[in-house]
Chains A and B, each alone.
Chain A
Amino acid sequence: AQSVAQPEDQVNVAEGNPLTVKCTYSVSGNPYLFWYVQYPNRGLQFLLKYITGDNLVKGSYGFEAEFNKSQTSFHLKKPSALVSDSALYFCAVRDGDSGGYQKVTFGTGTKLQVIP
Protein backbone atom coordinates (compact mmCIF):
# COMPACT_ATOMS: atom_id res chain seq x y z
CA ALA A 1 0.00 0.00 0.00
CA GLN A 2 1.10 3.55 -0.59
CA SER A 3 0.35 6.64 1.42
CA VAL A 4 1.04 10.34 1.63
CA ALA A 5 1.14 12.52 4.71
CA GLN A 6 0.80 16.26 4.75
CA PRO A 7 1.25 16.95 8.45
CA GLU A 8 0.10 20.56 8.37
CA ASP A 9 -3.52 21.48 7.73
CA GLN A 10 -2.51 25.09 7.25
CA VAL A 11 0.69 27.02 6.75
CA ASN A 12 0.85 30.77 7.27
CA VAL A 13 3.71 32.79 5.86
CA ALA A 14 4.35 36.47 5.37
CA GLU A 15 4.58 37.78 1.84
CA GLY A 16 8.18 37.80 0.65
CA ASN A 17 9.27 35.11 3.06
CA PRO A 18 10.27 31.63 1.96
CA LEU A 19 7.61 28.97 2.23
CA THR A 20 7.68 25.24 2.76
CA VAL A 21 4.77 22.82 2.53
CA LYS A 22 5.68 19.42 3.88
CA CYS A 23 5.00 16.02 2.40
CA THR A 24 6.19 12.56 3.32
CA TYR A 25 5.30 9.38 1.50
CA SER A 26 5.36 5.63 1.70
CA VAL A 27 5.51 3.38 -1.35
CA SER A 28 6.93 -0.06 -1.99
CA GLY A 29 8.56 0.65 -5.34
CA ASN A 30 10.18 3.69 -6.87
CA PRO A 31 8.22 6.79 -5.96
CA TYR A 32 6.69 9.04 -8.56
CA LEU A 33 5.83 12.21 -6.65
CA PHE A 34 3.59 15.13 -7.57
CA TRP A 35 2.41 18.48 -6.28
CA TYR A 36 -0.88 20.07 -7.26
CA VAL A 37 -2.43 23.41 -6.35
CA GLN A 38 -6.12 24.15 -6.04
CA TYR A 39 -7.58 27.63 -6.04
CA PRO A 40 -11.09 28.17 -4.61
CA ASN A 41 -13.85 26.54 -6.64
CA ARG A 42 -11.38 25.25 -9.22
CA GLY A 43 -9.89 21.92 -10.19
CA LEU A 44 -6.37 20.89 -9.28
CA GLN A 45 -3.49 22.29 -11.30
CA PHE A 46 -0.30 20.32 -11.82
CA LEU A 47 2.74 22.09 -10.34
CA LEU A 48 5.64 19.69 -10.62
CA LYS A 49 6.71 16.08 -10.41
CA TYR A 50 9.64 13.87 -9.58
CA ILE A 51 10.09 10.74 -11.64
CA THR A 52 13.86 10.33 -11.81
CA GLY A 53 16.98 12.44 -12.11
CA ASP A 54 17.85 15.50 -10.06
CA ASN A 55 16.42 15.52 -6.58
CA LEU A 56 15.55 19.20 -6.89
CA VAL A 57 12.62 19.64 -9.21
CA LYS A 58 11.50 23.02 -10.49
CA GLY A 59 7.91 23.64 -11.46
CA SER A 60 5.36 26.29 -12.27
CA TYR A 61 5.03 29.71 -10.61
CA GLY A 62 8.52 29.57 -9.08
CA PHE A 63 7.83 26.50 -6.96
CA GLU A 64 10.32 23.73 -6.45
CA ALA A 65 10.44 20.53 -4.47
CA GLU A 66 13.24 18.39 -3.16
CA PHE A 67 13.08 14.64 -3.24
CA ASN A 68 14.78 13.12 -0.21
CA LYS A 69 14.84 9.36 -0.41
CA SER A 70 16.29 8.73 3.02
CA GLN A 71 13.66 10.86 4.69
CA THR A 72 10.93 9.80 2.24
CA SER A 73 10.00 13.42 1.83
CA PHE A 74 9.05 15.69 -1.05
CA HIS A 75 8.60 19.14 0.47
CA LEU A 76 7.34 21.97 -1.68
CA LYS A 77 9.25 25.23 -1.47
CA LYS A 78 9.33 28.73 -2.84
CA PRO A 79 11.99 31.35 -2.01
CA SER A 80 9.61 34.29 -1.79
CA ALA A 81 5.89 33.86 -1.19
CA LEU A 82 3.25 35.90 -2.98
CA VAL A 83 -0.26 36.63 -1.76
CA SER A 84 -1.50 34.97 -4.95
CA ASP A 85 0.13 31.71 -3.81
CA SER A 86 -2.59 31.36 -1.19
CA ALA A 87 -4.36 28.14 -2.10
CA LEU A 88 -4.74 24.49 -1.23
CA TYR A 89 -1.78 22.25 -2.03
CA PHE A 90 -1.90 18.51 -2.54
CA CYS A 91 1.01 16.10 -2.59
CA ALA A 92 0.59 12.76 -4.38
CA VAL A 93 2.50 9.55 -4.95
CA ARG A 94 2.32 6.50 -7.15
CA ASP A 95 4.43 3.40 -7.43
CA GLY A 96 6.69 3.86 -10.46
CA ASP A 97 7.64 0.21 -10.59
CA SER A 98 4.17 -0.92 -11.46
CA GLY A 99 3.50 -1.38 -15.14
CA GLY A 100 0.99 0.76 -16.94
CA TYR A 101 -1.36 2.69 -14.74
CA GLN A 102 -1.22 2.56 -10.97
CA LYS A 103 -3.51 4.43 -8.63
CA VAL A 104 -2.20 7.77 -7.41
CA THR A 105 -2.63 8.47 -3.72
CA PHE A 106 -3.22 12.05 -2.60
CA GLY A 107 -2.50 13.68 0.71
CA THR A 108 -5.21 15.48 2.62
CA GLY A 109 -4.03 18.88 1.45
CA THR A 110 -2.40 21.87 3.10
CA LYS A 111 -3.92 25.29 3.00
CA LEU A 112 -1.31 27.95 2.38
CA GLN A 113 -2.13 31.44 3.57
CA VAL A 114 0.26 34.19 2.53
CA ILE A 115 -0.20 37.27 4.66
CA PRO A 116 0.38 40.67 3.06
Chain B
Amino acid sequence: GAVVSQHPSRVICKSGTSVKIECRSLDFQATTMFWYRQFPKKSLMLMATSNEGSKATYEQGVEKDKFLINHASLTLSTLTVTSAHPEDSSFYICSAYSIGQGMSGNTIYFGEGSWLTVV
Protein backbone atom coordinates (compact mmCIF):
# COMPACT_ATOMS: atom_id res chain seq x y z
CA GLY B 1 0.00 0.00 0.00
CA ALA B 2 0.91 3.65 -0.15
CA VAL B 3 3.11 5.18 2.55
CA VAL B 4 2.61 8.40 4.44
CA SER B 5 5.38 9.68 6.65
CA GLN B 6 4.78 12.08 9.53
CA HIS B 7 7.46 13.93 11.45
CA PRO B 8 8.22 14.43 14.27
CA SER B 9 6.60 11.55 16.09
CA ARG B 10 6.93 13.34 19.42
CA VAL B 11 7.60 16.96 20.21
CA ILE B 12 7.64 18.98 23.39
CA CYS B 13 7.47 22.74 23.18
CA LYS B 14 7.11 25.64 25.55
CA SER B 15 3.87 27.50 25.88
CA GLY B 16 3.74 30.43 23.47
CA THR B 17 6.06 28.94 20.88
CA SER B 18 5.18 27.44 17.51
CA VAL B 19 5.75 23.92 16.30
CA LYS B 20 5.61 22.46 12.82
CA ILE B 21 4.54 18.94 11.89
CA GLU B 22 5.26 17.55 8.43
CA CYS B 23 3.27 15.03 6.45
CA ARG B 24 4.74 13.45 3.34
CA SER B 25 3.34 10.98 0.85
CA LEU B 26 6.37 8.88 0.00
CA ASP B 27 5.32 6.88 -3.02
CA PHE B 28 2.36 8.72 -4.47
CA GLN B 29 1.26 12.23 -5.20
CA ALA B 30 -1.42 13.60 -2.95
CA THR B 31 -3.36 16.61 -4.10
CA THR B 32 -5.43 16.32 -0.95
CA MET B 33 -4.20 15.71 2.57
CA PHE B 34 -6.05 15.84 5.86
CA TRP B 35 -5.18 16.77 9.40
CA TYR B 36 -6.87 15.17 12.38
CA ARG B 37 -6.65 15.57 16.08
CA GLN B 38 -7.30 12.53 18.20
CA PHE B 39 -8.56 12.96 21.71
CA PRO B 40 -8.25 10.47 24.56
CA LYS B 41 -10.57 7.52 24.23
CA LYS B 42 -10.23 7.50 20.50
CA SER B 43 -12.39 9.97 18.61
CA LEU B 44 -10.83 11.42 15.47
CA MET B 45 -11.58 15.05 14.77
CA LEU B 46 -11.01 16.31 11.25
CA MET B 47 -9.33 19.68 11.56
CA ALA B 48 -8.82 20.65 7.95
CA THR B 49 -8.49 19.51 4.39
CA SER B 50 -5.28 20.57 2.72
CA ASN B 51 -5.26 21.07 -1.03
CA GLU B 52 -2.04 21.44 -2.98
CA GLY B 53 -1.56 24.96 -4.19
CA SER B 54 -4.59 26.44 -2.50
CA LYS B 55 -5.82 27.40 0.91
CA ALA B 56 -6.83 24.72 3.35
CA THR B 57 -10.46 24.15 4.19
CA TYR B 58 -10.98 24.23 7.94
CA GLU B 59 -13.71 22.48 9.84
CA GLN B 60 -16.06 24.47 11.96
CA GLY B 61 -14.55 25.48 15.25
CA VAL B 62 -10.93 25.08 14.17
CA GLU B 63 -8.94 28.30 14.39
CA LYS B 64 -7.28 29.04 11.06
CA ASP B 65 -4.76 31.43 12.53
CA LYS B 66 -3.73 28.99 15.20
CA PHE B 67 -3.40 25.89 13.07
CA LEU B 68 -1.63 26.97 9.91
CA ILE B 69 -1.67 24.49 7.08
CA ASN B 70 0.52 24.66 4.02
CA HIS B 71 0.39 22.20 1.13
CA ALA B 72 3.20 23.48 -1.03
CA SER B 73 3.81 20.39 -3.12
CA LEU B 74 2.08 17.20 -4.17
CA THR B 75 3.93 15.23 -1.51
CA LEU B 76 4.14 17.57 1.47
CA SER B 77 1.70 19.24 3.81
CA THR B 78 2.64 20.96 7.04
CA LEU B 79 0.68 21.85 10.14
CA THR B 80 2.04 24.63 12.30
CA VAL B 81 0.57 25.10 15.74
CA THR B 82 1.18 28.73 16.56
CA SER B 83 1.40 30.20 20.04
CA ALA B 84 0.89 26.78 21.50
CA HIS B 85 -0.87 26.31 24.81
CA PRO B 86 -1.09 23.28 27.05
CA GLU B 87 -4.62 22.59 25.82
CA ASP B 88 -3.18 22.08 22.34
CA SER B 89 -1.37 19.02 23.64
CA SER B 90 -2.75 16.12 21.67
CA PHE B 91 -2.09 13.42 19.11
CA TYR B 92 -2.16 14.88 15.60
CA ILE B 93 -2.53 12.61 12.60
CA CYS B 94 -2.22 13.41 8.94
CA SER B 95 -3.49 11.45 6.00
CA ALA B 96 -3.24 11.64 2.24
CA TYR B 97 -5.69 10.69 -0.44
CA SER B 98 -4.41 8.35 -3.11
CA ILE B 99 -6.33 8.80 -6.34
CA GLY B 100 -6.41 6.60 -9.39
CA GLN B 101 -7.14 2.97 -9.92
CA GLY B 102 -5.67 -0.19 -8.55
CA MET B 103 -5.26 -1.55 -5.07
CA SER B 104 -4.05 1.69 -3.55
CA GLY B 105 -6.38 4.01 -5.41
CA ASN B 106 -9.36 5.82 -3.92
CA THR B 107 -7.99 5.29 -0.45
CA ILE B 108 -6.79 7.48 2.38
CA TYR B 109 -3.50 6.50 3.99
CA PHE B 110 -2.42 7.75 7.39
CA GLY B 111 0.81 8.90 8.90
CA GLU B 112 2.02 7.49 12.20
CA GLY B 113 0.88 10.51 14.15
CA SER B 114 2.64 13.16 16.19
CA TRP B 115 2.39 13.57 19.93
CA LEU B 116 2.52 17.24 20.86
CA THR B 117 3.09 18.21 24.47
CA VAL B 118 3.01 21.87 25.37
CA VAL B 119 4.58 22.68 28.71
Contacts and interface: CB of A to CB of B under 8 A. Distances in A.
B106 A109 contact: no
Contacts of B93: 43-44
A6 to B, nearest CB: 10
**Binding site secondary structure of chain A:** strand
B6 interface: yes
Contact of A101 (B1, B6, B32, B110): B32
B interface secondary structure, majority: strand
A57 to B, nearest CB: 12
Interface string A63-97: 00000000000000000000000001010100010
A43 B108 contact: no
Interface in B62-119: 91, 93, 95, 97, 99, 106-113, 115
A12 B1 CA distance: 29
Contacts of B95: 44
Given A38-B42, A41-B115, A42-B113, 7 more contacts: A34-B108, A41-B91, A43-B93, A43-B110, A46-B108, A49-B107, A109-B42
Interface of A: 32, 34, 36, 38, 41-46, 49, 51, 88, 90, 92, 96, 100-101, 103-104, 106, 108-109, 111
Interface of B: 1, 4, 6, 31-32, 42-44, 46, 49, 91, 93, 95, 97, 99, 106-113, 115
